[in-house]
Homo-oligomer: A and B are copies of this chain.
Amino acid sequence: MRANSRDRDLRDRAAAVIPGGMFGHQSTRLLPDDYPQFFSRAKGARLWDADGNELLDFMCAYGPNLMGYADDAIDDAYVSRMRQGDTMTGPTGLIVELAEQFTRMVTHADWAIFCKNGGDATQIALMTARAHTGRKTVVLAKGAYHGAAPWCATRPNGVTPEDKANQVFCVYNDIASLEAAVAAAGDDLAAIFAAPMKHDAFTDQVLPDPAYARRARELCDSTGALLVVDDVRAGLRIARDCSWSAVGVQPDLSSWGKCFANGHPISALLGANKAKRAAAQIFTTGSFWYQAAPMAAALETLRRVRETDYLEHMEGLGTRLRDGLAERAAASGFGFRQTGPVTMPLFLFDEDPDLRKGFFWSSQMLKRGVYVHPWHNMFLCAAMTPADIDQALDAAEDSFVALKAQAGSLEPVAKMSFLLA
């Protein structure tokens, strides 16, 4: 039995002073009941929850942990810069160096604006596209996540119809629907937004069809709209470049966040020169956007991205995990779908509409010290080792056995019943 008394105590206190007990994507409201809400420590690929239970972590902070938690060299770069001055009355030369390094690495990019939230970067992309074109309409793929600001909010509460004006939706990878959406925008198309892959929650991930990506590029070129790839979630786990470089398509703008400073708070919009004037015309800013320390951490992270095999290492581990899980799932007789890039897997069971199998199996993994997510894509990090993957595979084998023993008698997962609607 995992200890959880500290977590329970913290939840009780949180219920008093935090709406809903916790807000946003790190709330465990839609996770199995035994998942911890609070953590105490992290190092490399491992997390310890508030009660001290050690976990091999396949969420990687929902992405930010790219090179390993509490990476000494990256954190040293952060601290060294922080002690000299961090948030000051102006930026340091690091902002220039980071813009130079990042744009050198990302093929389509000539310039950079740095911000804090991934959603800041997507918001600035939208504003830049509107300023560039003098038009308003944006084409988005239905269900795609581009942040939690009202314009792209996934929940209606507190959001007005006007917040979501000037949007036309298409279906990801469906060229005809993309063309129809662009046609519907008429002469008002400012931008096409695209996730680098379909990485929506609760559903299989889908890799981009190169023909879809090329058609999006063509439609932008023929209309003068800007093509925006939102690489906040997938950036640096698919390529050392914008993720759509893997399908041979260069956007005009790309948004980045989460992991390019290995969890230190910084995001970015990168852009091509044709959108530079528009980007200079909008006013966008934030109290901490000029912080020097996250830029120092980003420079060290990007150096590692360029100079090490971190990506091939993660891909090798991801393939080992995928193959090993497929084998064990097949042996257990479960239809077990693993989708998305191997560095960002998502697991769903066949015939599991309210996720009762997924919840049970994930809880079994947790009991065995492996933190997986039952409905959101996961993230590998470069600090993982083959032995870590083997630990996960051993846990999975036992968890499939446990699921098989219980599968006939699983209770419905009431909190996920909205998926049945």
Contact = CB atoms under 8 A, between A and B. Distances in A.
Given A41-B84, A42-B84, 12 more contacts: A10-B93, A23-B113, A25-B285, A28-B90, A37-B90, A59-B89, A70-B84, A70-B86, A79-B82, A117-B288, A148-B285, A155-B281
Interface of A: 6, 10, 13-14, 16-20, 22-26, 28, 36-43, 47, 49-50, 57, 59-65, 69-70, 75, 78-79, 82-93, 95-96, 99-100, 103, 110-113, 116-120, 123, 126-131, 136, 148-151, 153-155, 157-160, 162-163, 165-166, 232, 257-258, 263-265, 267, 271, 276-291, 294, 371
Given A39-B89, A40-B84, A265-B265, A116 B288 contact: yes
Nearest to A97: B13
A107 to B, nearest CB: 15
A19 B148 contact: no
Contacts of A123: 149-150
Contacts of A99: 14, 17-18
Rank and list the top 5 A-B pairs by shortest CB-CB distance, nearest first.
Answer: A24-B285, A127-B158, A42-B85, A20-B280, A87-B263
Residue of A47, A89, A263 with most chain B CB atoms under a 10 A cut-off: A89
A227 B167 CA distance: 31
A286 B158 contact: no
Contacts of A281: 155, 157-158
Number of copies: 2
A19 B111 contact: yes
A145 to B, nearest CB: 10
A257 B153 CA distance: 23
Nearest to A28: B90
Contacts of A78: 82
Nearest to A265: B288
Contacts of A10: 93, 96
A118 B286 CA distance: 7
A2 to B, nearest CB: 15
28 contacts: A17-B99, A17-B100, A17-B112, A18-B95, A19-B280, A20-B280, A23-B279, A24-B284, A24-B290, A26-B90, A37-B91, A38-B91, A38-B96, A39-B89, A39-B91, A40-B92, A42-B89, A57-B89, A61-B88, A64-B87, A70-B84, A86-B263, A117-B288, A118-B287, A119-B286, A232-B287, A264-B288, A265-B294
